[in-house]
Structures are given as C-alpha cells and as structure tokens.
Amino acid sequence: MNRSSLIRQIRQKKSFLCVGLDSDILKMPEGISHSAQGLIDFNKAIIESTAEFAVAYKLNTAFYESLGAAGWEVMEKTLEFIPKDIFTIADAKRGDIGNTSAMYARAFFENLHFDSITVNPYMGKDSVSPFLDFEGKWSILLALTSNPGSQDFQTLPIGREQVYMQVLETSAKWGSPENMMYVVGATRAEQLARIREIIPNHFLLVPGVGAQGGSLEQVVKYGANNDIGLLINSSRSIIYASSGKDFAEAAGREAAAMQAQMKEFVD
C-alpha cells in the first residue's frame, strides 16, 4: 500500500487507529478454544468487529512464533481476513546482515504479504536496506520505544543529541517518507516535538496510548503533521476488552470509542 492510499483511508474513516493482534493462546475468551484454530477464530471475530474503525492491523509475530509452525499458519489465515484496503504490519523487530535481512523480507513481504515490518536499526544501513528494496513495502524502524529499557541505550547522549535522534537523522536518508516509518513511544510528548523537527514528514507508529499511559491528545498535538502522519496502536485494551462471549462486540465498542476521539483530530 502506498502513502497516498494510507492517507486517503485515514481521511475517509476519520481514524488513525492500528489494532494490535497480540493474540495470546492462553488468554482466549469464553467460547474460544485455546488452540491454533481458536486463535484464528478469535482474530477473525476481532477483525470483523473492528475493521470499520481501524486503518491498520499489527501482528506481534512473537505471539504466533511461540506456537511454532502452527503459529505461522495462524498468521497466514489471519492476514486473509484483513480487508485489502487496510494496512498490515508485521511487528517482528527483525534486522541482520544483508543476505539475512533479505531472507526476513522474503518471509514477511513475499510469503505472508504484509505491507510493512518493524525493523531494529542497531546493525545499521545494510541491515535495513534489503527491506527497503521491496517496491510498495514499508520498513518501520525502532527509534524511541515506550518500555523502561528504552532509557538504557536509546537515550544515551551523543554530543548534544541522543542515540535515537542519530538513528532518525541517519536512517531517514536510507529511504523516504514513502517507504519508511518510525516506532516512537508516546510516553513523553516533548520528545515527540523534537522528533518532528528531525523527521517532519514520516509516519510514526505510536504504541503506548492507553494501557501504557500515553495521552492521545498530547500525541496528536506534538506528533501529527499535515497528513496526520500517525498510526496509534492499541492492542490489549481492544482485543481483551471482554473475556466473555461478547469479546468481539466489546472490542468493536472499544475501537469505535478510539475512532470517535480520533475523528475530531482528523476533521
């Protein structure tokens, strides 16, 4: 999916919501079996009830890999349920030397047909470029994450800057706002403002609104650009909105509530 299609979808749905399918086989609601088939049924129901409010779905690949070969089949099936005009993200956080990154790109872009993959920048340009070589596909680089450990290395001082700022400045030259986005944790709004100085045009994938404590209003105030330029991810608060048989309806209500908040910002 190209950038203009994504922006068009955001304006049409008045939403920049990404639903995170961190679907855990141990947390299936009432009426869903704790099995690979259960996960497929769960994801299908969640997608059907949230698709009108979401512009993206993000599959946290670890939750599927933990099931081995069966998990890969669950990912394949899940992707089939996602409407073709909705952006898909493999939250896989890959990155390795060139020929190995190329293998990962094949796995997620060619075999599973994801639109995008999250990529860890630590190994530098030749670990990211193989993902950028795929026409029409996106790399979403980790810049500043939302977890406590983000303070261990990402914010180390480099002169007057910090590591994650150098990651933004350097890596932005490897691709363009047409094929790169960045993961930016939403826990500190003032950091978002600084990030927008460095990369005014890229889309940001923002976890941590809601469950992890970020504020939607602050994120929009400091992180939005003229194209909105944001995908706000919400996982557990939507997919586990209810542990009862009404889990899908509850997920739909939660997604609708997020979209209702986003609507005013798109307008």
Binding site for a copy of itself (CB under 8 A): 22, 24, 60, 62-63, 65-73, 76, 91, 93-98, 100-101, 103-104, 106-107, 111-112, 120-128, 142, 145-154, 156-159, 163, 166-167, 170-171
* Least CB distance to a copy of itself at residue 51 (A): 24
Q: Which is nearer to a copy of itself, 46 or 142 (CB)?
A: 142
**Quick one: tokens of 76?**
């394949």
Asked if 117 and 108 touch (Cβ cutoff 8 Å), the reply is yes
* Least CB distance to a copy of itself at residue 235 (A): 10
Asked if 51 and 9 touch (Cβ cutoff 8 Å), the reply is no
Q: Which is nearer to a copy of itself, 162 or 259 (CB)?
A: 162
For residues 67 and 87, what is the distance between their CA atoms, to the nearest angstrom? 25
* Least CB distance to a copy of itself at residue 114 (A): 12
Q: Which is nearer to a copy of itself, 159 or 267 (CB)?
A: 159
* Least CB distance to a copy of itself at residue 166 (A): 6
> Annotated catalytic, 58?
no
Asked if 236 and 22 touch (Cβ cutoff 8 Å), the reply is yes
Who contacts 120 (Cβ-Cβ below 8 Å, separation ≥6)? 93, 94, 95, 141, 142
Nearest CA to 2 out of 116, 82, 130, 79 is that of: 116
Asked if 115 and 137 touch (Cβ cutoff 8 Å), the reply is yes
* Least CB distance to a copy of itself at residue 143 (A): 10
Q: Which is nearer to a copy of itself, 52 or 169 (CB)?
A: 169
**Active-site residue, selected from the candidate residues 13, 84, 93, 173:** 93
Phi and psi torsions of 167, nearest 5°: -60, -45
Asked if 57 and 48 touch (Cβ cutoff 8 Å), the reply is no
Asked if 20 and 58 touch (Cβ cutoff 8 Å), the reply is yes
Catalytic center residues? 93
